[in-house]
Chain A
Amino acid sequence: MSGTAVVRIEALHKSFGPLKVLKGIDLEIGQGEVVGIIGPSGSGKSTLLRTVNRLEEPTSGRIFVHGEEITRPDTDIDKVRGKVGMVFQSFNLFPHMSVVENVAVALRKIRKLPREQADAIARRRLDEVGLLAKAEARPAGLSGGQQQRVAIARALAMEPELMLFDEATSALDPELVKGVLTIMSGLAKGGMTMMVVTHEMGFAREVCDRVVFMDAGQVVEQGPPAQIFGSPSSPRLRDFLAQVL
Protein backbone atom coordinates (compact mmCIF):
# COMPACT_ATOMS: atom_id res chain seq x y z
CA MET A 1 0.00 0.00 0.00
CA SER A 2 1.31 3.39 -1.00
CA GLY A 3 0.92 6.56 1.01
CA THR A 4 -2.19 7.59 -0.90
CA ALA A 5 -4.70 5.55 1.07
CA VAL A 6 -8.26 6.24 -0.05
CA VAL A 7 -9.63 4.74 3.14
CA ARG A 8 -7.87 4.31 6.43
CA ILE A 9 -9.67 2.66 9.33
CA GLU A 10 -8.12 2.78 12.78
CA ALA A 11 -9.20 0.79 15.84
CA LEU A 12 -12.82 0.79 14.76
CA HIS A 13 -15.39 -0.50 17.25
CA LYS A 14 -19.12 -0.66 16.79
CA SER A 15 -21.71 -1.92 19.23
CA PHE A 16 -25.46 -2.19 18.91
CA GLY A 17 -26.44 -1.95 22.55
CA PRO A 18 -24.66 -4.77 24.34
CA LEU A 19 -23.85 -6.51 21.05
CA LYS A 20 -20.27 -5.89 19.92
CA VAL A 21 -20.30 -6.13 16.14
CA LEU A 22 -16.89 -4.68 15.31
CA LYS A 23 -14.06 -5.28 17.74
CA GLY A 24 -11.11 -3.22 16.63
CA ILE A 25 -10.72 -3.08 12.87
CA ASP A 26 -7.62 -1.63 11.22
CA LEU A 27 -7.68 -1.48 7.47
CA GLU A 28 -6.19 0.57 4.69
CA ILE A 29 -7.32 0.74 1.09
CA GLY A 30 -5.09 2.19 -1.57
CA GLN A 31 -5.90 4.18 -4.69
CA GLY A 32 -7.48 1.92 -7.32
CA GLU A 33 -7.46 -1.08 -5.03
CA VAL A 34 -10.34 -3.53 -5.09
CA VAL A 35 -10.81 -5.13 -1.70
CA GLY A 36 -13.20 -8.03 -1.20
CA ILE A 37 -14.58 -8.58 2.27
CA ILE A 38 -15.72 -12.10 2.98
CA GLY A 39 -16.84 -13.96 6.06
CA PRO A 40 -19.80 -15.70 7.65
CA SER A 41 -23.05 -13.77 8.13
CA GLY A 42 -23.00 -11.80 11.33
CA SER A 43 -19.24 -11.32 11.12
CA GLY A 44 -19.64 -7.55 10.79
CA LYS A 45 -18.77 -7.15 7.07
CA SER A 46 -21.76 -5.00 6.18
CA THR A 47 -21.48 -2.96 9.36
CA LEU A 48 -17.83 -2.26 8.55
CA LEU A 49 -18.76 -1.11 5.06
CA ARG A 50 -21.58 1.06 6.36
CA THR A 51 -19.30 2.89 8.78
CA VAL A 52 -17.17 4.10 5.85
CA ASN A 53 -19.92 6.51 4.77
CA ARG A 54 -21.30 6.66 8.30
CA LEU A 55 -24.64 5.05 7.62
CA GLU A 56 -23.54 3.46 10.89
CA GLU A 57 -21.92 5.67 13.46
CA PRO A 58 -18.79 4.06 14.91
CA THR A 59 -18.77 3.55 18.66
CA SER A 60 -15.06 4.38 18.71
CA GLY A 61 -12.13 4.54 16.35
CA ARG A 62 -11.32 6.76 13.41
CA ILE A 63 -11.96 6.58 9.68
CA PHE A 64 -10.17 8.66 7.08
CA VAL A 65 -11.31 9.07 3.49
CA HIS A 66 -8.64 10.68 1.32
CA GLY A 67 -6.87 11.82 4.44
CA GLU A 68 -9.90 13.59 5.88
CA GLU A 69 -11.11 12.21 9.18
CA ILE A 70 -14.81 11.61 8.55
CA THR A 71 -15.51 10.43 12.08
CA ARG A 72 -15.04 13.91 13.52
CA PRO A 73 -18.29 15.47 14.73
CA ASP A 74 -17.78 18.54 12.55
CA THR A 75 -17.36 16.56 9.33
CA ASP A 76 -19.79 17.50 6.56
CA ILE A 77 -20.83 13.90 6.02
CA ASP A 78 -23.14 14.75 3.11
CA LYS A 79 -20.16 16.12 1.21
CA VAL A 80 -18.16 12.96 1.95
CA ARG A 81 -21.05 10.77 0.84
CA GLY A 82 -21.20 12.65 -2.45
CA LYS A 83 -17.75 11.21 -3.22
CA VAL A 84 -18.45 7.71 -1.88
CA GLY A 85 -20.89 5.67 -3.95
CA MET A 86 -22.84 2.86 -2.34
CA VAL A 87 -24.75 -0.07 -3.80
CA PHE A 88 -27.16 -1.99 -1.58
CA GLN A 89 -28.29 -5.58 -1.49
CA SER A 90 -31.91 -4.55 -2.04
CA PHE A 91 -31.12 -1.92 -4.73
CA ASN A 92 -33.22 0.77 -3.02
CA LEU A 93 -34.16 2.54 -6.23
CA PHE A 94 -36.73 5.28 -5.72
CA PRO A 95 -39.99 3.72 -6.96
CA HIS A 96 -41.80 7.00 -7.59
CA MET A 97 -39.16 8.19 -10.05
CA SER A 98 -38.31 6.96 -13.52
CA VAL A 99 -35.00 5.18 -14.07
CA VAL A 100 -33.33 8.28 -15.49
CA GLU A 101 -34.67 10.43 -12.66
CA ASN A 102 -33.22 7.96 -10.17
CA VAL A 103 -29.81 8.49 -11.69
CA ALA A 104 -30.17 12.24 -12.21
CA VAL A 105 -31.80 13.30 -8.95
CA ALA A 106 -28.64 13.72 -6.91
CA LEU A 107 -26.91 15.57 -9.75
CA ARG A 108 -29.78 18.03 -9.91
CA LYS A 109 -30.52 18.46 -6.23
CA ILE A 110 -27.03 18.16 -4.76
CA ARG A 111 -24.67 19.11 -7.56
CA LYS A 112 -27.30 21.66 -8.66
CA LEU A 113 -26.82 20.83 -12.34
CA PRO A 114 -29.55 22.00 -14.72
CA ARG A 115 -31.99 19.28 -15.73
CA GLU A 116 -30.69 18.82 -19.30
CA GLN A 117 -27.12 18.43 -18.15
CA ALA A 118 -28.04 16.04 -15.32
CA ASP A 119 -30.21 13.98 -17.66
CA ALA A 120 -27.41 13.80 -20.23
CA ILE A 121 -24.98 12.49 -17.63
CA ALA A 122 -27.60 10.06 -16.30
CA ARG A 123 -28.23 8.69 -19.78
CA ARG A 124 -24.53 8.23 -20.39
CA ARG A 125 -24.27 6.25 -17.12
CA LEU A 126 -27.30 4.19 -18.04
CA ASP A 127 -25.74 3.46 -21.40
CA GLU A 128 -22.63 2.19 -19.66
CA VAL A 129 -24.66 -0.35 -17.72
CA GLY A 130 -26.63 -1.27 -20.85
CA LEU A 131 -29.95 0.18 -19.76
CA LEU A 132 -30.37 3.35 -21.78
CA ALA A 133 -33.45 1.79 -23.36
CA LYS A 134 -35.10 1.64 -19.94
CA ALA A 135 -34.48 5.30 -19.09
CA GLU A 136 -38.16 6.22 -18.97
CA ALA A 137 -39.31 3.02 -17.22
CA ARG A 138 -40.20 2.77 -13.56
CA PRO A 139 -37.91 0.64 -11.39
CA ALA A 140 -40.75 -1.79 -10.69
CA GLY A 141 -40.81 -2.66 -14.39
CA LEU A 142 -37.22 -3.90 -14.28
CA SER A 143 -35.74 -7.22 -13.25
CA GLY A 144 -33.66 -7.35 -10.09
CA GLY A 145 -30.47 -7.43 -12.10
CA GLN A 146 -31.51 -4.42 -14.13
CA GLN A 147 -32.50 -2.54 -10.98
CA GLN A 148 -29.10 -3.21 -9.48
CA ARG A 149 -27.39 -1.99 -12.64
CA VAL A 150 -29.42 1.22 -12.41
CA ALA A 151 -28.38 1.52 -8.77
CA ILE A 152 -24.74 1.25 -9.86
CA ALA A 153 -25.31 3.90 -12.53
CA ARG A 154 -26.97 6.11 -9.89
CA ALA A 155 -23.92 5.85 -7.66
CA LEU A 156 -21.48 6.40 -10.54
CA ALA A 157 -23.30 9.51 -11.72
CA MET A 158 -21.84 11.36 -8.74
CA GLU A 159 -18.32 10.45 -9.97
CA PRO A 160 -17.33 8.83 -6.69
CA GLU A 161 -13.73 8.27 -5.72
CA LEU A 162 -14.70 5.13 -3.86
CA MET A 163 -17.47 2.60 -4.35
CA LEU A 164 -18.97 0.47 -1.59
CA PHE A 165 -20.82 -2.69 -2.59
CA ASP A 166 -22.91 -4.28 0.15
CA GLU A 167 -23.74 -7.81 -1.03
CA ALA A 168 -24.82 -6.33 -4.34
CA THR A 169 -25.76 -9.67 -5.87
CA SER A 170 -27.17 -11.51 -2.86
CA ALA A 171 -30.80 -10.64 -3.61
CA LEU A 172 -30.58 -11.59 -7.28
CA ASP A 173 -31.78 -14.69 -9.04
CA PRO A 174 -28.73 -16.75 -10.08
CA GLU A 175 -29.09 -16.02 -13.79
CA LEU A 176 -29.02 -12.26 -13.12
CA VAL A 177 -25.88 -12.24 -10.98
CA LYS A 178 -23.43 -12.38 -13.87
CA GLY A 179 -24.57 -9.15 -15.52
CA VAL A 180 -24.01 -7.21 -12.32
CA LEU A 181 -20.65 -8.85 -11.61
CA THR A 182 -19.51 -8.05 -15.14
CA ILE A 183 -20.19 -4.37 -14.57
CA MET A 184 -18.38 -4.49 -11.25
CA SER A 185 -15.38 -6.17 -12.89
CA GLY A 186 -15.37 -3.49 -15.56
CA LEU A 187 -15.30 -0.80 -12.90
CA ALA A 188 -12.44 -2.55 -11.13
CA LYS A 189 -10.44 -2.77 -14.36
CA GLY A 190 -11.15 0.91 -14.99
CA GLY A 191 -9.26 1.76 -11.81
CA MET A 192 -12.14 2.43 -9.40
CA THR A 193 -11.30 2.01 -5.73
CA MET A 194 -13.80 -0.52 -4.38
CA MET A 195 -14.79 -2.19 -1.13
CA VAL A 196 -16.89 -5.21 -1.94
CA VAL A 197 -18.73 -7.20 0.70
CA THR A 198 -19.60 -10.37 -1.15
CA HIS A 199 -20.57 -14.01 -1.02
CA GLU A 200 -19.33 -14.46 -4.57
CA MET A 201 -16.03 -16.25 -3.99
CA GLY A 202 -15.39 -16.38 -7.73
CA PHE A 203 -15.54 -12.59 -7.90
CA ALA A 204 -13.32 -12.23 -4.83
CA ARG A 205 -10.77 -14.59 -6.31
CA GLU A 206 -10.68 -13.22 -9.85
CA VAL A 207 -11.36 -9.50 -9.54
CA CYS A 208 -10.19 -8.42 -6.10
CA ASP A 209 -6.62 -7.26 -5.49
CA ARG A 210 -6.92 -8.21 -1.86
CA VAL A 211 -9.35 -10.29 0.17
CA VAL A 212 -10.17 -9.57 3.79
CA PHE A 213 -11.66 -12.39 5.85
CA MET A 214 -13.73 -11.26 8.81
CA ASP A 215 -15.17 -13.32 11.63
CA ALA A 216 -16.82 -12.25 14.89
CA GLY A 217 -16.12 -8.58 14.35
CA GLN A 218 -12.43 -8.90 13.57
CA VAL A 219 -10.20 -9.14 10.55
CA VAL A 220 -8.84 -12.66 10.89
CA GLU A 221 -6.76 -12.83 7.75
CA GLN A 222 -6.10 -10.79 4.65
CA GLY A 223 -3.98 -11.00 1.57
CA PRO A 224 -3.98 -11.53 -2.19
CA PRO A 225 -6.76 -13.86 -3.38
CA ALA A 226 -4.26 -16.57 -4.32
CA GLN A 227 -3.03 -16.68 -0.75
CA ILE A 228 -6.45 -16.44 0.93
CA PHE A 229 -8.02 -19.14 -1.23
CA GLY A 230 -4.86 -21.14 -1.97
CA SER A 231 -3.13 -21.33 1.38
CA PRO A 232 -5.34 -20.05 4.18
CA SER A 233 -3.38 -20.01 7.42
CA SER A 234 -6.07 -19.63 10.08
CA PRO A 235 -8.39 -22.51 11.00
CA ARG A 236 -11.43 -20.19 10.94
CA LEU A 237 -10.78 -19.19 7.33
CA ARG A 238 -10.19 -22.83 6.38
CA ASP A 239 -13.51 -23.78 8.02
CA PHE A 240 -15.28 -20.95 6.24
CA LEU A 241 -13.83 -21.83 2.84
CA ALA A 242 -14.68 -25.47 3.35
CA GLN A 243 -18.28 -24.45 3.83
CA VAL A 244 -18.66 -22.01 0.94
CA LEU A 245 -16.51 -23.57 -1.75
Chain B
Amino acid sequence: MDSVLQTFFDVHLMASVFPDLIRIGLVNTLTLAGGATAIGLVVGMALALAALSRRVWLRWPARVYVDIFRGLPIILTIFLLGQGLPLAGVHPFGTNSYPYGIVALGLVTGSYISEIFRSGIQAVAPGQLEAARALGMPYLTAMRLVVVPQGVRNVLPALTNQFIGTIKDSSLVYLLGFAEGQRELYRIGQDVAQRTGNMSSLVAAGLMYLVITVPLTHLVNLLDRRLKNGRPKTAAPQAGDGPGPDARPTPMEVTSA
Protein backbone atom coordinates (compact mmCIF):
# COMPACT_ATOMS: atom_id res chain seq x y z
CA MET B 1 0.00 0.00 0.00
CA ASP B 2 2.81 2.34 0.86
CA SER B 3 4.45 1.66 -2.48
CA VAL B 4 1.23 2.54 -4.28
CA LEU B 5 1.01 5.84 -2.42
CA GLN B 6 4.69 6.45 -3.01
CA THR B 7 4.45 5.70 -6.74
CA PHE B 8 1.44 7.89 -7.48
CA PHE B 9 1.20 10.45 -4.71
CA ASP B 10 4.69 11.40 -3.64
CA VAL B 11 3.85 14.80 -2.23
CA HIS B 12 7.40 16.11 -2.27
CA LEU B 13 7.94 15.10 -5.85
CA MET B 14 4.64 16.67 -6.84
CA ALA B 15 5.50 19.87 -5.03
CA SER B 16 8.78 20.01 -6.91
CA VAL B 17 7.10 19.66 -10.33
CA PHE B 18 4.26 22.12 -9.82
CA PRO B 19 6.31 25.27 -10.50
CA ASP B 20 7.34 23.95 -13.93
CA LEU B 21 3.83 22.64 -14.59
CA ILE B 22 2.35 26.06 -13.93
CA ARG B 23 5.05 28.32 -15.38
CA ILE B 24 5.79 26.27 -18.49
CA GLY B 25 3.24 23.48 -18.90
CA LEU B 26 0.03 25.34 -18.21
CA VAL B 27 1.09 28.32 -20.29
CA ASN B 28 1.98 26.11 -23.25
CA THR B 29 -1.08 23.91 -23.00
CA LEU B 30 -3.32 26.97 -22.97
CA THR B 31 -1.34 28.59 -25.80
CA LEU B 32 -1.57 25.49 -27.95
CA ALA B 33 -5.25 24.89 -27.24
CA GLY B 34 -6.16 28.58 -27.42
CA GLY B 35 -4.26 29.13 -30.65
CA ALA B 36 -5.70 26.00 -32.22
CA THR B 37 -9.22 26.98 -31.15
CA ALA B 38 -8.80 30.48 -32.60
CA ILE B 39 -7.75 28.96 -35.92
CA GLY B 40 -10.50 26.37 -35.58
CA LEU B 41 -13.21 29.00 -35.05
CA VAL B 42 -12.23 30.91 -38.18
CA VAL B 43 -11.77 27.78 -40.30
CA GLY B 44 -14.88 26.21 -38.81
CA MET B 45 -17.13 29.20 -39.55
CA ALA B 46 -15.83 29.45 -43.12
CA LEU B 47 -16.41 25.72 -43.63
CA ALA B 48 -19.86 25.83 -42.05
CA LEU B 49 -20.98 28.70 -44.29
CA ALA B 50 -19.52 26.94 -47.31
CA ALA B 51 -21.25 23.68 -46.36
CA LEU B 52 -24.58 25.54 -46.11
CA SER B 53 -24.10 27.38 -49.38
CA ARG B 54 -26.28 26.69 -52.37
CA ARG B 55 -23.19 26.64 -54.55
CA VAL B 56 -21.83 23.17 -55.16
CA TRP B 57 -18.29 24.36 -55.66
CA LEU B 58 -18.31 25.76 -52.12
CA ARG B 59 -20.23 22.92 -50.50
CA TRP B 60 -18.23 20.10 -51.95
CA PRO B 61 -14.71 21.12 -50.84
CA ALA B 62 -16.03 21.93 -47.36
CA ARG B 63 -17.51 18.48 -47.06
CA VAL B 64 -14.31 16.79 -48.26
CA TYR B 65 -12.23 18.83 -45.81
CA VAL B 66 -14.45 17.88 -42.87
CA ASP B 67 -14.59 14.21 -43.88
CA ILE B 68 -10.82 13.96 -44.16
CA PHE B 69 -9.83 15.79 -41.00
CA ARG B 70 -12.51 14.15 -38.87
CA GLY B 71 -11.74 10.75 -40.31
CA LEU B 72 -8.01 10.70 -39.64
CA PRO B 73 -6.34 9.97 -36.30
CA ILE B 74 -5.27 13.32 -34.95
CA ILE B 75 -1.73 12.08 -34.37
CA LEU B 76 -1.38 11.29 -38.06
CA THR B 77 -2.58 14.74 -39.05
CA ILE B 78 -0.27 16.43 -36.59
CA PHE B 79 2.76 14.60 -37.95
CA LEU B 80 1.63 14.93 -41.53
CA LEU B 81 1.16 18.70 -41.33
CA GLY B 82 3.59 19.51 -38.54
CA GLN B 83 6.50 17.77 -40.26
CA GLY B 84 5.16 17.89 -43.78
CA LEU B 85 4.50 21.60 -44.25
CA PRO B 86 8.12 22.64 -43.56
CA LEU B 87 9.41 19.74 -45.65
CA ALA B 88 7.19 20.79 -48.52
CA GLY B 89 8.68 24.25 -48.42
CA VAL B 90 5.79 25.88 -46.54
CA HIS B 91 7.67 27.23 -43.56
CA PRO B 92 6.44 30.68 -42.59
CA PHE B 93 7.53 29.96 -39.00
CA GLY B 94 11.04 28.70 -39.79
CA THR B 95 12.16 25.46 -38.21
CA ASN B 96 10.37 25.97 -34.91
CA SER B 97 7.81 23.13 -34.80
CA TYR B 98 5.61 24.77 -32.14
CA PRO B 99 3.57 27.00 -34.49
CA TYR B 100 3.18 24.17 -37.00
CA GLY B 101 1.73 22.11 -34.18
CA ILE B 102 -0.79 24.86 -33.44
CA VAL B 103 -1.73 25.07 -37.12
CA ALA B 104 -2.15 21.30 -37.43
CA LEU B 105 -4.25 21.10 -34.29
CA GLY B 106 -6.23 24.16 -35.43
CA LEU B 107 -7.02 22.69 -38.83
CA VAL B 108 -8.31 19.49 -37.24
CA THR B 109 -10.28 21.45 -34.64
CA GLY B 110 -11.75 23.52 -37.47
CA SER B 111 -13.33 20.44 -38.99
CA TYR B 112 -15.09 19.60 -35.73
CA ILE B 113 -16.10 23.20 -35.06
CA SER B 114 -17.53 23.53 -38.57
CA GLU B 115 -19.93 20.70 -37.81
CA ILE B 116 -20.90 22.38 -34.55
CA PHE B 117 -21.53 25.71 -36.28
CA ARG B 118 -23.40 24.05 -39.10
CA SER B 119 -25.82 22.28 -36.79
CA GLY B 120 -26.31 25.48 -34.80
CA ILE B 121 -27.03 27.56 -37.88
CA GLN B 122 -29.36 24.95 -39.29
CA ALA B 123 -31.32 24.98 -36.04
CA VAL B 124 -32.21 28.66 -36.53
CA ALA B 125 -35.80 28.94 -37.76
CA PRO B 126 -35.84 29.50 -41.56
CA GLY B 127 -38.23 32.42 -41.08
CA GLN B 128 -35.35 34.38 -39.57
CA LEU B 129 -33.37 34.37 -42.80
CA GLU B 130 -36.55 35.08 -44.78
CA ALA B 131 -37.46 38.07 -42.65
CA ALA B 132 -33.96 39.49 -42.95
CA ARG B 133 -33.88 38.95 -46.72
CA ALA B 134 -37.36 40.47 -47.04
CA LEU B 135 -36.01 43.65 -45.42
CA GLY B 136 -33.51 43.87 -48.25
CA MET B 137 -30.45 42.38 -46.58
CA PRO B 138 -28.09 40.53 -48.92
CA TYR B 139 -27.55 36.87 -47.99
CA LEU B 140 -24.23 37.32 -46.22
CA THR B 141 -25.44 40.38 -44.30
CA ALA B 142 -28.52 38.47 -43.16
CA MET B 143 -26.36 35.55 -42.08
CA ARG B 144 -23.93 37.81 -40.21
CA LEU B 145 -26.51 39.97 -38.42
CA VAL B 146 -29.39 37.59 -37.89
CA VAL B 147 -28.72 33.89 -38.42
CA VAL B 148 -25.15 33.30 -37.26
CA PRO B 149 -25.47 35.11 -33.90
CA GLN B 150 -28.45 32.92 -33.04
CA GLY B 151 -26.74 29.81 -34.34
CA VAL B 152 -23.58 30.45 -32.33
CA ARG B 153 -25.64 30.99 -29.19
CA ASN B 154 -27.26 27.63 -29.79
CA VAL B 155 -23.92 25.85 -29.76
CA LEU B 156 -21.97 27.60 -27.01
CA PRO B 157 -22.09 24.42 -24.89
CA ALA B 158 -20.83 22.29 -27.76
CA LEU B 159 -18.05 24.80 -28.49
CA THR B 160 -16.95 24.70 -24.86
CA ASN B 161 -16.90 20.92 -25.06
CA GLN B 162 -14.76 21.18 -28.15
CA PHE B 163 -12.32 23.43 -26.29
CA ILE B 164 -12.00 20.80 -23.57
CA GLY B 165 -11.23 18.23 -26.25
CA THR B 166 -8.63 20.49 -27.82
CA ILE B 167 -6.93 21.01 -24.46
CA LYS B 168 -6.57 17.27 -24.14
CA ASP B 169 -5.49 16.81 -27.76
CA SER B 170 -2.82 19.46 -27.33
CA SER B 171 -0.78 16.88 -25.40
CA LEU B 172 -0.13 15.13 -28.73
CA VAL B 173 1.47 18.11 -30.43
CA TYR B 174 4.62 17.73 -28.34
CA LEU B 175 5.52 14.66 -30.40
CA LEU B 176 6.72 17.04 -33.12
CA GLY B 177 9.64 17.76 -30.85
CA PHE B 178 9.62 20.93 -28.79
CA ALA B 179 12.30 22.76 -26.88
CA GLU B 180 12.42 22.72 -23.07
CA GLY B 181 10.43 25.86 -22.62
CA GLN B 182 7.76 24.78 -25.10
CA ARG B 183 6.72 21.67 -23.20
CA GLU B 184 3.09 21.41 -22.21
CA LEU B 185 1.60 19.77 -19.11
CA TYR B 186 1.74 16.15 -20.19
CA ARG B 187 5.33 16.30 -21.40
CA ILE B 188 6.61 17.92 -18.24
CA GLY B 189 4.91 15.27 -16.13
CA GLN B 190 6.17 12.47 -18.35
CA ASP B 191 9.77 13.76 -18.42
CA VAL B 192 10.00 13.75 -14.65
CA ALA B 193 8.26 10.36 -14.47
CA GLN B 194 10.81 8.89 -16.82
CA ARG B 195 13.71 10.36 -14.92
CA THR B 196 12.51 9.34 -11.47
CA GLY B 197 10.60 6.15 -12.20
CA ASN B 198 7.75 7.66 -10.18
CA MET B 199 4.29 8.50 -11.49
CA SER B 200 3.53 11.38 -9.12
CA SER B 201 4.58 14.01 -11.63
CA LEU B 202 2.11 12.61 -14.14
CA VAL B 203 -0.57 12.64 -11.47
CA ALA B 204 0.32 16.26 -10.82
CA ALA B 205 0.04 17.00 -14.54
CA GLY B 206 -3.31 15.22 -14.56
CA LEU B 207 -4.50 17.38 -11.70
CA MET B 208 -3.56 20.45 -13.71
CA TYR B 209 -5.68 19.24 -16.61
CA LEU B 210 -8.59 18.62 -14.28
CA VAL B 211 -8.26 22.10 -12.80
CA ILE B 212 -8.98 23.44 -16.28
CA THR B 213 -11.39 20.89 -17.68
CA VAL B 214 -13.69 20.19 -14.74
CA PRO B 215 -14.83 23.81 -14.32
CA LEU B 216 -15.28 24.01 -18.09
CA THR B 217 -17.43 20.88 -18.01
CA HIS B 218 -19.62 22.51 -15.41
CA LEU B 219 -19.73 25.67 -17.51
CA VAL B 220 -21.03 23.51 -20.36
CA ASN B 221 -23.83 22.22 -18.16
CA LEU B 222 -24.65 25.73 -16.98
CA LEU B 223 -24.77 27.08 -20.54
CA ASP B 224 -26.88 24.15 -21.56
CA ARG B 225 -29.40 24.75 -18.79
CA ARG B 226 -29.53 28.45 -19.65
CA LEU B 227 -30.22 27.68 -23.27
CA LYS B 228 -33.00 25.30 -22.35
CA ASN B 229 -34.69 27.39 -19.66
CA GLY B 230 -33.72 31.02 -19.41
CA ARG B 231 -33.34 31.79 -23.04
CA PRO B 232 -36.05 33.81 -24.72
CA LYS B 233 -38.07 31.93 -27.26
CA THR B 234 -37.40 32.68 -30.92
CA ALA B 235 -41.02 33.26 -31.77
CA ALA B 236 -44.33 33.01 -30.04
CA PRO B 237 -46.29 29.80 -30.47
CA GLN B 238 -46.89 29.27 -34.13
CA ALA B 239 -50.17 27.80 -35.14
CA GLY B 240 -49.61 24.69 -37.17
CA ASP B 241 -46.20 25.83 -38.30
CA GLY B 242 -44.41 22.68 -37.30
CA PRO B 243 -42.19 22.29 -34.26
CA GLY B 244 -41.32 25.55 -32.57
CA PRO B 245 -37.73 26.62 -32.06
CA ASP B 246 -37.69 25.13 -28.57
CA ALA B 247 -38.25 21.65 -29.93
CA ARG B 248 -34.82 21.56 -31.47
CA PRO B 249 -32.18 19.45 -29.80
CA THR B 250 -29.05 21.11 -28.51
CA PRO B 251 -26.31 19.75 -30.70
CA MET B 252 -24.24 18.41 -27.84
CA GLU B 253 -23.27 15.16 -29.47
CA VAL B 254 -20.67 16.82 -31.63
CA THR B 255 -17.50 16.62 -29.59
CA SER B 256 -13.91 15.89 -30.23
CA ALA B 257 -12.88 12.27 -30.58
Contact = CB atoms under 8 A, between A and B. Distances in A.
A55 B133 contact: yes
Contacts of A89: 238-239, 241
A187 interface: no
The number of chain B residues touching the other chain, given as a range, is: 20 to 34
A94 B128 contact: yes
A92 B131 CA distance: 6
A106 B125 CA distance: 19
Most chain A CB within 10 A, of B132, B134, B145, B234, is at B134
Contact of A90 (B137, B150, B241): B241
Contact of A158 (B135, B146, B149): B135
A56 to B, nearest CB: 10
Most chain B CB within 10 A, of A154, A155, A171, is at A171
Contacts of A143: 236
B135 A92 contact: no
B236 A88 contact: no
B210 interface: no
B138 interface: yes
B236 A144 contact: yes
A158 B134 CA distance: 11
Most chain A CB within 10 A, of B136, B138, B149, B234, is at B136
B228 interface: no
A105 interface: yes
B235 A110 contact: no
B191 interface: no
Contacts of B149: 96
A144 B135 contact: no
A170 B137 CA distance: 26
A171 B238 contact: yes
A106 B130 contact: no
Nearest to A167: B239
B141 A55 contact: no
B134 A86 contact: yes
Given A96-B150, A171-B241, A78 B233 contact: no
A91 interface: yes
A140 B232 contact: yes
Given A140-B232, A142-B236, 17 more contacts: A79-B136, A80-B136, A81-B134, A82-B136, A88-B134, A89-B238, A91-B235, A92-B131, A92-B235, A93-B235, A95-B150, A95-B233, A96-B149, A110-B135, A110-B137, A143-B236, A144-B236
14 contacts: A55-B134, A81-B133, A81-B136, A89-B238, A91-B235, A91-B236, A94-B132, A94-B146, A106-B136, A109-B145, A139-B235, A151-B131, A158-B136, A171-B241
